[in-house]
Amino acid sequence: MDDKSNIITRFNAMDSAPVEISTSHGEIVCYSNRSPKKDTPNEDALAVIPVDEKSTILVVADGLGGMPAGEQASQLMVECLIASVSNIKSSVREAILNGIDEANKTILDMKTGAGTTVSIAEVSGNTLRTYHAGDSLILLTSDYGDVKYQTLSHSPIGYAQICGALDQEQAMRHPERNLISNYVGCNDMHINIGPIIELAPHDTIILSSDALSDNLYEQEICEFIRKGALLHGIKELIVQCNLNMNEPLSDRRCHPDDFTLVSFRQNT
């Protein structure tokens, strides 16, 4: 693994603007800020973990609101993952899974009822593989604005959408949209591992806490980032999401929340 000094983490952040990071592998943009409707800590965390010249791990963890020590749970998730990846014994995949398992055990051992979602993107060469528990979004979009891949929210509403019982607009309006059925810190936690996906030039990956998917439809997200420089698109995306959180629209049930994202676009 690369020197630990190259790892980027954000805990309890209050970013006024996104930050761009240029690497040999691709362009990365990070942002994290607390909900505009609260003055308590930001319970989200993020990390960018270089593995080698061709591989990077992106992470977003969203500490569960309404439960104790959400910010501690999300930070523990990120720190356990970094520790595991720093000591890879066989494969990056195994190190990621071991890091999540260790975080789950550590949070359960706290016995406070804390929990966190986690969404992880393993980018290796021109391939993507995802790992997640909870409802923090991972979205892969092309430069044409098409959704090429999207993780399933581990929630009753997410399952209702995937089986066709609710459409996107109904799900966005549903009063129980933010209830989740799987997270790091629960006894029966499970991890969804995505397929290995080949990335095309200009494909963009976004990992985000649920503030993004609670306030913008997937096609709106894609439209913001499909053209031009990644940093510019992410800036516009953040502005619109924050605007919706402050001034809810009539066609959706907007939800103010801590807002964290990491975006990646491979060098071409």
CATH number of the domain at 132, please: 3.60.40.10
Q: Which pLDDT value is given to residue 172?
A: 67
State the average pLDDT over residues 25-47: 94
State the average pLDDT over residues 125-129: 95
Q: Which pLDDT value is given to residue 161?
A: 64
Which residues contact residue 179 at a Cβ distance below 8 angstroms, ignoring those fewer than 6 apart?
155, 156, 157
Number of domains in the chain: 1
- pLDDT-derived band at 76 (thresholds 50, 70, 90) equals very high
State the average pLDDT over residues 7-36: 94
State the average pLDDT over residues 23-31: 90
Q: Which pLDDT value is given to residue 174?
A: 59
Are the beta carbons of 192 and 133 closer than 8 angstroms?
Answer: yes
Q: Which pLDDT value is given to residue 73?
A: 96
Backbone angles phi, psi at 99, to 5 degrees: -65, -40
**Distance in angstroms (rounded) separating the CA atoms of residues 55 and 51:** 5
Q: Which domain holds residue 243?
A: 4-266
Which residues contact residue 250 at a Cβ distance below 8 angstroms, ignoring those fewer than 6 apart?
none
Q: Which pLDDT value is given to residue 16?
A: 94
CA-based radius of gyration for the chain = 17
Give me the residues paired with residue 192 across strands: 132
- pLDDT-derived band at 178 (thresholds 50, 70, 90) equals low
